[in-house]
Amino acid sequence: MKKECIAMLLAGGQGSRLYVLTSDVAKPAVPFGGKYRIIDFPLSNCANSGIDTVGVLTQYKPLELNSYIGSGQPWDLDRMSGGVHILPPYMQEGEKGSWYKGTANAIYQNIGFVDMYDPDYVVILSGDHIYKMNYGKMVEAHKAAGAACTISVLEVPWDEAPRFGIMAVDGQDNITEFQEKPKQPKSNLASMGIYVFTWKKLRQYLIDDENTPGSSNDFGKNIIPAMLNAGEKLLAYRFDGYWKDVGTLESLWDANMDMLSRGDLDLLESSWPIYARLPAEAPAFIGKAALVEHSVVTQGCEIGGTVLNSVLSHGARIEEGAEVHYSVLMPGVTVKKGAVVKYAIVGENCSVEEGATVGGDPADSDPDKWGITVLGPGTAVEAGETVAPNTMLNRNHKEVSR
Amino acid sequence: MKGLHGIIFSFEYHNNLRELTAHRMPASVPFAGRYRIIDFILSSMVNAGVTDVGVVLHGNYQSLLDHLESGKDWDLSRTHGGLRLLPPFSYQHSGVTRQFRGKMEALAGVRSYLEEIRQSHVVLADSDLVINIPLKDVYQAHLASGADITAVCTSNLCGPEDATWFHLGEDGRVNEALFDLRNPAGCHRSLEIYILSKQLLLDLVDECISRDEVSFRSGVLLAKANTLNIQSYVWDGYAAQIRSVKEYYDRSMELLDPSIRREVFHPKRPIYTKERNDASTYVDPSGTCCNSLVADGCTIEGTVENSILFHGVSVARGAEVKNCILMPEVTVHRDAVIQHVIADKRVEILESRTLMGHENYPMAVGKDSKI
């Protein structure tokens, strides 16, 4: 059945810069903000933008992500026609077919899927950004300008520009040049990794790119420069809301803290809801001796101790006499009596036993050695043990270096 | 097919829930921070492997329909079986269609539905009961005892005024069923959960209707305790028949006790409810919250103590909420003080207002009121 616009969500990356947090799951399945996983943001944005057909391209450790997405019902993406589809690499005629070699190759290998819906426009999304955005408006801008490709951009401080893919534009916001992590940026408009393509155009560029020897089959490195060289109309679409790439441990922690301060990223604001698949749990219980300040708590939490400036996902248990400061606790974490967790990201189902210390205050540490402490999912910190700041442990309790 | 089929009766008869049932039936009264009362028995059924459940509607059932929808949140949205909503107006007598007056009349009205039940046995239950009971065990006990009917009852005598009472024999058989008992000492109180075979249920429905006997209590329990083998299954865990504001308040507040919460929210038997999309609850540095049950989507900037907050409640700076139950989307504005109050959905307590109920007479404020 024909659709005007469908979305393709690139969710196959390993997310190696999240280290132990993605040792068993793909990056988009990493929990965020108490109730969510990263992928809830692009999926909910699609649902809220009126896009009812989404292909999710998976490759790295997809099992948890697949079962999380399921029928797509929490995002209203269980549809008679369209809906959400998981697209892993598959064999092709004559034993062709391969792993996805790059972002563009992933779409190339699924040209058949896109063609089933015969769309005019395709939105390309990634599964590692936290933001609320109406893709519908971006598609409208793309249509109005008659562009071949529209790239969503964010103004970043000039000194940070060298970390991003930078778009130089003319007076009508037409992209004149693309610089990947430039030393001398020509603009401060950073690509957010969100593209709208006119499908007929993209389809041809994907085929050409596949036939170009030595191409890394990547949107940023190959497709966009090829389109620019060919003189296609590329439009920059300015976005001014909250957007964060949570591809690193620090940025993941930062984004959680941004959510707590409820500035640009207010998840309690209900006009653009973010949906999630959730387990059936009782409301949170905050005990008699508990102290909770500037923190979020989620259903299934039992809090007896002190929780300051922290994000608690469902099923967290903070016993009386335990303390959690400036930390992000993923689902099912237990912190026992007398244990202290500071400036840490604690993976799913970790336990911090009595009297243990995880992480520490930057004020109490050597600034060169301080950093966020990270416990991989399922890690057990023994009673009385100390896990120093800037340390990372995997589930076998082995230290992992960054 | 062996197994249990569930039938839940919702009804709108005389109760003391006052404001809480002005816009809804007892079945859909919000309870325990994020549920409706019917969720508990419905989840108990689902957790016992029941795949087909009929809900008999009655009275003002709009709110119950909104809540149950297709049954997907209980995994009951199925191609075969699943949730069936049974309309209350199907009972035809002498050419007139009207609302049923009792359970047997309700069942007679949906007799064709009863005939199509795929399972060998049926569990009947009321929708005003808060319980998390392993119905699988009750079913096993029913099969093992060879009883005609198994009735779940409790030795706890504190319950609603219009309870059904059982005299149990030494073998656990229900020797006599009674109601309106002035002094129920030595009796057991029925929790109105009954298991019987589909065939017996059909026979009893036909027999009762032929005698113009509309109620299960008088037509079956009172009339047939001698001729049918009615066995008891005694359940002394948490069970609350919510039929008055006082009962509602007391049984809600019990949930602040961890041991009771462990019974109601048993990890192996989760209680399912309609999922909502609220972010986590935020507690501001200016707020304090203790000894309280708090659902998601709340913003707490004031003081909250010994209370139950449903989703989307907001307590502003300087406000004080003690011993209260605040239903979804209640707003307590700055410096307002409320104690022993049950505020229904979307109630607003304006700035600096003071509202005091008492432990013995909690104050219920009706839906959408502004004070």
Q: Is the separation of the CB atoms in B327 and B30 below 8 Å?
A: yes
Pairing of strands B149-154, B281-283: unpaired
- Which residues make Cβ contacts (< 8 Å) with residue B29, sequence separation at least 6? B17, B20, B21, B36, B37, B242, B248
Backbone dihedral region of B192: left (phi > 0), alpha (psi from -120 to 50 degrees) or beta? left
pLDDT at A6: 97
Closest listed residue to residue A76, CA positions, set A48, A35, A101, A99: A48
Nearest CB among B43, B278, B289 relative to A292 is that of: B289
CA torsion, points A117, A239, A74, A260, in degrees to nearest 10?
160
3-class secondary-structure state, position B51: coil
Mean pLDDT of all residues in A133-143: 97
pLDDT at A257: 96
Alpha-carbon distance A243 to A246, whole Å? 9
In this structure, of A152-156, A227-231, A301-305, A397-401, the range with the lowest mean pLDDT score is A397-401
3-class secondary-structure state, position B35: strand
Alpha-carbon distance B356 to B362, whole Å? 8
Q: Å from A227 to nearest chain B CA?
A: 41
Domains B4-264 and B282-365 share a fold: no
Place of tokens 């009796």: B187
Alpha-carbon distance B153 to A266, whole Å? 49
CB contact under 8 A, A298 and B296: yes
Nearest CB among A268, A280, A296 relative to B270 is that of: A280
Model confidence pLDDT, tens digit, residues A19-28: 999 988 999 9
Nearest CB among B264, B290, B309 relative to A290 is that of: B290
B12 has a chain A CB within 8 A of its CB: no
Nearest CB among A267, A293, A311 relative to B285 is that of: A293
| Amino acid at the residue A275 | Y
Alpha-carbon distance A293 to A288, whole Å? 15
- DSSP code for A122: E
Q: Which residue has the higher pLDDT, A246 or A95?
A: A246
The reply to whether CATH 2.160.10.10 applies to domain B282-365 is yes
CB contact under 8 A, B279 and A294: no
Residue of B nearest to A312 (CA): B280
The pTM of the full predicted model, rounded to 2 decimals, is 0.92
Distances in whole angstroms, Cα of residue B8 to Cα of each of A164, B43, B106 = 59, 12, 11
B10 has a chain A CB within 8 A of its CB: no
Model confidence pLDDT, tens digit, residues B69-128: 999 999 999 989 999 999 876 666 656 566 678 899 889 989 999 999 999 999 999 999
B297 has a chain A CB within 8 A of its CB: yes
A chain contacts of residue B274, beta-carbon cutoff 8 Å: none
Alpha-carbon distance A323 to B306, whole Å? 22
CB contact under 8 A, A74 and B275: yes
Q: Kindly list the domain boundaries of chain B, sorted by start residue.
A: 4-264, 282-365
Q: Is the separation of the CB atoms in B176 and B225 below 8 Å?
A: yes
CB contact under 8 A, B261 and A290: no
CB contact under 8 A, A280 and B283: no
| Amino acid at the residue A57 | L
Alpha-carbon distance B364 to B344, whole Å? 7
Rounded to 5°, angle at Cα A38 from A36 and A42: 105
pLDDT at A69: 95
CB contact under 8 A, A283 and B34: yes
A chain contacts of residue B283, beta-carbon cutoff 8 Å: 292-297
B36 has a chain A CB within 8 A of its CB: no
Check the CA dihedral A42-A44-A50-A56 and report its sign: positive
Q: What is the ipTM of this complex?
A: 0.90
Q: Confidence class of residue A385 from pLDDT cuts 50, 70 and 90?
A: very high
Model confidence pLDDT, tens digit, residues A253-288: 999 999 999 888 999 988 999 999 999 999 999 999
Does the pLDDT of residue A363 top 80, yes or no?
yes
CB contact under 8 A, B280 and A293: no
The secondary structure of A198-212, three-state, reads EHHHHHHHHHHHHCC
* Superfamily (CATH) of domain B4-264: Spore Coat Polysaccharide Biosynthesis Protein SpsA; Chain A (3.90.550.10)
The number of beta carbons lying within 10 Å of the beta carbon of residue A106 is 26
CB contact under 8 A, B273 and A280: yes
pLDDT (tens place) for every residue of chain B, 371 residues total: 789 999 999 887 667 888 888 888 889 999 999 999 999 999 999 999 999 999 998 888 889 999 999 999 999 999 899 999 998 766 666 565 666 788 998 899 899 999 999 999 999 999 999 999 999 999 999 999 999 999 999 999 888 888 999 999 999 999 999 988 888 889 999 999 999 999 999 999 999 999 988 899 999 999 999 999 999 999 999 999 998 899 999 999 999 999 999 999 999 999 999 988 899 999 999 999 999 999 999 999 999 999 999 999 999 999 999 999 999 999 999 999 999 999 999 999 999 999 999 999 999 999 999 99
Residues of A with CB under 8 A from a CB of B: 33-35, 73-74, 260, 262, 267-268, 270, 273-276, 278-299, 311-313
Mutate to test the interface with B, among A75, A272, A292 (most CBs of B within 10 A): A292
Alpha-carbon distance B346 to B310, whole Å? 11
B215 has a chain A CB within 8 A of its CB: no
Mean pLDDT of all residues in A373-384: 96
Residue of A nearest to B314 (CA): A268
B chain contacts of residue A274, beta-carbon cutoff 8 Å: 277, 279
| Amino acid at the residue B252 | S
pLDDT at A134: 97
Model confidence pLDDT, tens digit, residues A43-88: 999 999 999 999 999 998 899 999 999 999 999 999 999 999 999 9
Mean pLDDT of all residues in A373-381: 96
Burial profile B238-266: b = 16 or more Cβ within 10 angstroms, e = fewer: bbbbbbbbebbbbbbbebbeeeebebbbb
Which tokens is B358 given?
């008492």
